[in-house]
């Protein structure tokens, strides 16, 4: 199966009813997986809702913030969701950004790649031993877990639940190759960054862990603004780039292509409260580097290039600084334009 036959989408809809309808439509179109983001809603409650509303489509947290929940809660949540979905669940975990972990959640961030590595290892250990009735011991820098006298009485849906890590930088991608079952790419990413940072790094991790490339599921992500009105598509993509340009974590992603000054201008405008100036700082070349915007054929060509690097491809609409109806329209065009059932028909 080619990567273009394994299309993932994000659960992005205005209401809970819309989320369920969107997931059922995606299932009917043979979309591979719906991943639930975590910012305005809980990734876990969305995944539960979507699993209950569907029968066949994969359901994943895309992503759950790993440091804001204990490994025990993450493990039993994953086992619950896998049972409730009858083996369709994928646990996607990410570090998030330092400021939000510490100021919104009051949790330790530390060194994110080693921290997430420990979390994945601990969660997997708890899931593996949950039904064995054996002591569970994990000792690391961030997690010190000692579980005795506990056995989960509920039958698991399958032998194991796959764990995916989200990565932007080299260290996190390498860690994913070390210990995760797969890697979810970031929606704002260039082809050069895919090749030189993400793929090169997780392959080093796979080599260190003694695994083959076929043992790992890489799902790169593309932000897609599909519209015959190319100017509108570029403007929507510009606005999503603006959201990430306000976060210093992504500075190296811009600088490698010479867009550091443009990103800095967006950040300056944001901090000055001049929201109108933000998208104006993003040139068309920056949109072409990081997103796929314009008519369907043009977007398809860019997505095909990204898909060559992955085992599936995760397509998201522009979703920041534009209205809910506009987001929904871009989401529908992704499903209509890329759904395997539509392509085969």
CATH code of the domain covering residue 328: 3.20.20.30
**Tokens encoding 335:** 């499903």
> From the CB of residue 281, how many other CB atoms can be counted at a distance below 10 Å?
21
Are 11 and 95 contained in the same domain? yes
Are 131 and 45 contained in the same domain? yes
Burial class of residue 241 in the structure, from the number of CB atoms within 10 Å of its CB (0-12 exposed, 13-18 middle, 19+ buried): buried
Residue 265, domain extent: 228-294
Q: How far apart are alpha carbons 142 and 144 in whole angstroms?
A: 7
> According to the model, what pLDDT value does residue 342 have?
58
Are 281 and 328 contained in the same domain? no
**Is the pLDDT confidence value at 263 over 70?**
yes
**Is the pLDDT confidence value at 53 over 90?**
yes
- Residue 345 pLDDT grade (very low, low, confident, very high; cuts 50, 70, 90): very low
Q: How far apart are alpha carbons 2 and 14 in whole angstroms?
A: 31
> From the CB of residue 135, how many other CB atoms can be counted at a distance below 10 Å?
11
> According to the model, what pLDDT value does residue 248 have?
84
Q: Which positions ≥6 away from 155 have C-beta within 8 Å?
A: 83, 131
Say how many domains are in the chain. Answer: 2
> According to the model, what pLDDT value does residue 343 have?
53
Which whole number is the average pLDDT over 210-229?
A: 97
Which whole number is the average pLDDT over 320-324?
A: 91
Residue 237 contacts residue 225 (beta carbons within 8 Å): yes
Are 44 and 76 contained in the same domain? yes
Are 252 and 128 contained in the same domain? no
Summarize pLDDT for 151-192 with one digit per residue, the tens: 999 999 999 999 999 999 999 999 999 999 999 999 999 999
Q: Mean pLDDT, the chain, as a whole number?
A: 96
> According to the model, what pLDDT value does residue 344 have?
47
> From the CB of residue 271, how many other CB atoms can be counted at a distance below 10 Å?
9
- Measured CA to CA in angstroms, residue 267 lies from 249, 270, 303 at distances of 12, 5, 28
Residue 92's DSSP bridge partners are 164
Which whole number is the average pLDDT over 211-218?
A: 97
Which whole number is the average pLDDT over 216-236?
A: 98
Which whole number is the average pLDDT over 5-20?
A: 96
Which whole number is the average pLDDT over 92-107?
A: 95
Are 126 and 233 contained in the same domain? no
**Alpha helices, H only, the chain:** 16-28, 43-53, 71-84, 98-103, 112-129, 170-179, 191-193, 200-209, 230-245, 251-255, 260-271, 277-280, 284-290, 296-307, 324-338, 340-344
Are 211 and 122 contained in the same domain? yes
Which whole number is the average pLDDT over 114-137?
A: 97
> According to the model, what pLDDT value does residue 340 have?
86
> According to the model, what pLDDT value does residue 341 have?
64
Are 216 and 329 contained in the same domain? yes
Are 24 and 50 contained in the same domain? yes
**Is the pLDDT confidence value at 130 over 60?**
yes
Residue 314: closest CA among 185, 168, 213: 185
> According to the model, what pLDDT value does residue 307 have?
98
Q: Got the DSSP string for 49-86?
A: HHHHH-SSSEEEES-EEGGGS-HHHHHHHHHHHHHHTT
**Is the pLDDT confidence value at 309 over 60?**
yes
Half-sphere exposure of 248 (CA within 13 A, CB side): 5
Q: How many whole angstroms from its chain centre is CA 75?
A: 19
Are 132 and 233 contained in the same domain? no
Which whole number is the average pLDDT over 65-89?
A: 98
- Residue 249 pLDDT grade (very low, low, confident, very high; cuts 50, 70, 90): confident
Rounded to 5 degrees, what are φ and ψ at 300?
Answer: -55, -40
Are 323 and 266 contained in the same domain? no
Are 205 and 268 contained in the same domain? no
């Amino acid at each position: 199966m080619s990567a273009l036959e394994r299309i993932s989408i994000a659960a992005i809809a205005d209401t809970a009813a819309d989320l369920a309808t969107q997931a059922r439509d995606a299932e009917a179109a043979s979309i591979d997986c719906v991943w639930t983001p975590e910012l305005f809603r809980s990734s876990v409650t969305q995944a539960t809702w979507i699993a209950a509303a569907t029968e066949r489509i994969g359901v994943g947290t895309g992503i759950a913030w790993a440091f804001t929940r204990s490994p025990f809660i993450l493990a039993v949540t994953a086992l619950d969701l896998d049972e409730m979905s009858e083996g369709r669940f994928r646990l996607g975990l990410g570090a998030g950004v330092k400021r939000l972990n510490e100021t919104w959640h009051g949790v330790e961030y530390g060194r994110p790649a080693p921290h997430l590595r420990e979390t994945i290892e601990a969660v997997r250990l708890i899931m593996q031993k949950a039904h064995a009735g054996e002591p569970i011991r994990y000792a690391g820098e961030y997690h010190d877990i000692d579980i005795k006298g506990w056995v989960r009485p509920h039958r698991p849906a399958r032998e194991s639940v796959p764990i995916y890590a989200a990565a932007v930088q080299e260290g996190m991608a390498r860690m994913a190759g070390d210990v995760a079952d797969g890697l979810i790419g970031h929606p704002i990413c260039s082809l050069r960054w895919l090749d030189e940072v993400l793929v090169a790094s997780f392959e080093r991790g796979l080599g260190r862990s003694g695994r083959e490339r076929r043992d790992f599921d890489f799902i790169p992500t593309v932000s897609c603004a599909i519209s015959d009105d190319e100017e509108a598509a570029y403007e929507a993509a510009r606005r999503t780039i603006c959201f990430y340009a306000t976060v210093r974590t992504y500075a190296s992603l811009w600088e490698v292509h010479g867009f550091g000054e443009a990103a800095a201008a967006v950040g300056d405008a944001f901090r000055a409260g001049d929201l109108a100036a933000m998208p104006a700082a993003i040139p068309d070349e920056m949109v072409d580097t990081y997103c796929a915007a314009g008519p369907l054929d043009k977007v398809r060509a860019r997505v095909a290039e990204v898909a060559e690097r992955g085992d599936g491809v995760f397509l998201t609409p522009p979703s920041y600084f534009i209205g809910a109806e506009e987001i929904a329209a871009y989401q529908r065009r992704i499903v209509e334009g890329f759904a395997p059932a539509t392509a085969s028909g």
